[in-house]
Structure 1
């Protein structure tokens, strides 16, 4: 497909900034500046950037705990993003949720659950709102290959299919459910796409390390969902470069395989090289974009660290019991 240069540059900017955010979060964690765990999504950025390039105002997003910087992609300001991660009052929930519970309804971000897959019905409910209001929006539900095997995910798919709701089920298949390989956990290689027919849903399988392949596959699927054809599935094949959480030694997988993915299928490096080769981007521009965003992140982190924390009297606010 032929694309305008401005679109390709925007795609690259989103890809680069998502990667730099993921690296920055692991760096902050290594420096003991982040309370709670970091689940790094480094290496999986193209799956999110490619799919979310199809979004439009009014869409809803049920994001996962990896790649968490996708919240920034859809509108979460850096100050709010780092405020929540660093447990400050400037965060989206005043620092109460932390990195695994980012949410901002004004951006369409429906929040995250610490128990993966159990909240699959939430984007279905959001899709009911879209249908009731007669809009051509969609609700994106991102889920890992491991969580697709949970009952609530199948219940959500059944409801969305029965009611022909505008839900895009996006499976990020990185090959492992914590330490369980997909070859052990699923009877089919494409853990969500191969099962989509059972829900009468169209499905597409894309290379989640290639931002354009992901975008092209997602575009066709999302267009059909927006047109009122009911829910559909996108399965993105990619690799989780780091452990399930920071500190995971990954003794359950062959590191040489991971290194091969990192060397040959780095979504940022490969797209960067393509754009330079086409004369759309220069090494100087790349260097400046990296420096500029690194400065933006550092300034936002400094403001977040200077922000107040909750007091002991405030930690029970918003609890029902």
Structure 2
């Protein structure tokens, strides 16, 4: 894509104009769906980031109408940008329910009116509320939304496609996975292409094909679209997940999956070289945060070089 001709929006089989989204849609079905997933059951579109994904989705599905969201999900993301502000820019009316620490299914149900366009759930990826808390499962929200004929939209942020508990993260602190949201009945799930997915910056919108088709044809989809280098990088990254080798080949998972022994060996090698240069160094035990707007408060054991 960067070095020569690109068939990004050209169909080689017919010689007609194509869509840049076609290059990713099949990959997303393979990675997020089941073996039986088809274009009639699951579709996806990628834009420039996850905030853009939320803006575009609500602009198409909820402009001039109400979107119900828990007060505990009205998060602020990096750079001081806040989910409520992004929602308002879409033209949707924000309907807050519950409290910061406790929101029940009945709170959502009681807020539904003929003006309701969607129910939104946002994963608090960069902070955690503990103690006297209550939240509503995706499956329950999806069931409520279906009952009232509105879409249930979930923004899970980090794009974690592998099971993070396999790397020492407690079950209670794990990151939600987009394939789980879809299996639980979410109409739309949104997540980042970088962070724990490990690809380029992007915002992925996946879910019901009829809704994705509407989103794809909104004017903002053109303004927020992913460029050809981003499409190529995201396709290459998703290819590793489809082949089942992401743990070995995607850098973020190489780092998360590095064993204590491997980290100790690396630290010792660095300390040795620094010592030869005249520095006074030693290797000590420590912890590292995974970061990337995910897993707040979670650390993994590591080896540190103390100078």
Larger Rg: 2
Higher-helix-fraction structure: 1
TM-score under structure 2 normalisation? Answer: 0.35
Higher strand share: 2
Normalising by structure 1, we get a TM-score of 0.33
